[in-house]
Amino acid sequence: MSQRRFAAVSAFLRARFSSEGHLGTDLTSGALVMMLCAFIFGHIAEDVVTMDKITILDLQVSQWFHSNTTPSLTRFMLLVTHLHSTLGIVALSVLLAIYWVRIKAWDWLLKLILTVPFGMLLNLLLKSIFQRTRPTFEVPLLTLDSYSFPSGHAAAATLFYGVLAAWLICTTSSWRWRVVIATLASLLVALVGLSRIYLGVHYLSDVLAAMAASSGWLAFSLTAVGISRSRRRCG
């Protein structure tokens, strides 16, 4: 009986880490990323709701940035944040979609459609659930009336640059270039998040939670389309 059980477990593990089939490493790695992102988001959200230590750090970070602003840096951060508004991300996504249509990259087009619009809708849903008010200052650099948690700009940047980086990484076999692509995408997302904190419209936890939730949705989208493609090939 124990030998049968061991054989079943062994077969299950081999299937999960097999490079063949639609239930191998793609599903396993995607599921692990989703669980990790869900854990991180849940931990941050719990700390925000219970007013734990992270909210104290939020105030300290926000106040530090607000007291160290400069006109030139403010203009730069405003440019970054406006380029990555909802309209900006939609425009970038449309341009990328047009390019993928031209080269007939249908799977990547589907990944883009599933990732960006639906990921941004998920972020709006989370905002309506938590209803966290934005930071307030006597002399604000930017004012918004919508909810703060999680950051919409950070979420949109994570979704768009995430799917773009995934495609670029798949087009090269060089590990050096893959690292460069992943690093640049991460820096761009971090810059967008930093612009929101600098401008005083988001807390640090808003940005980190948005990155975690959107990374989880990105992993789900890429995994779901990848599995669907594998099943079509096997069918």
Is 19 within the bounds of a domain? Answer: no
Q: Give, for 90, the enclosing helix (H) or strand (E).
A: helix 86-102
Say what the pLDDT of residue 39 is: 95
Say what the pLDDT of residue 226 is: 73
Say what the pLDDT of residue 145 is: 86
Q: What is the dihedral angle through the alpha carbons of 94, 30, 149, 189, rounded to the nearest 10 degrees?
A: -50
pLDDT under 70: residue ranges of the chain: 1-27, 228-235
pLDDT in tens, 193-233: 999 999 999 999 999 999 999 999 999 999 888 776 655 54
Q: Are 135 and 197 in contact (CB under 8 A)?
A: no
Q: Are 28 and 17 in contact (CB under 8 A)?
A: yes
Is 224 within the bounds of a domain? Answer: yes
The pTM of this model reads: 0.84
User: Which two three-digit tokens encode residue 198?
Assistant: 């600098």
Is 79 within the bounds of a domain? Answer: yes
Say what the pLDDT of residue 30 is: 78
Q: Helical H runs in the chain?
A: 2-16, 25-49, 53-66, 71-83, 86-102, 106-130, 152-170, 175-198, 204-234
Is 14 within the bounds of a domain? Answer: no
Is 13 within the bounds of a domain? Answer: no
Q: Report the domain count for the chain.
A: 1
Is 10 within the bounds of a domain? Answer: no
Say what the pLDDT of residue 11 is: 43
Q: Quickly count: other Cβ atoms within 10 Å of residue 235's Cβ.
A: 5
Host domain of residue 30: 25-234
Is 223 within the bounds of a domain? Answer: yes
Is 11 within the bounds of a domain? Answer: no
Q: Are 216 and 33 in contact (CB under 8 A)?
A: yes
Q: Quickly count: other Cβ atoms within 10 Å of residue 154's Cβ.
A: 29
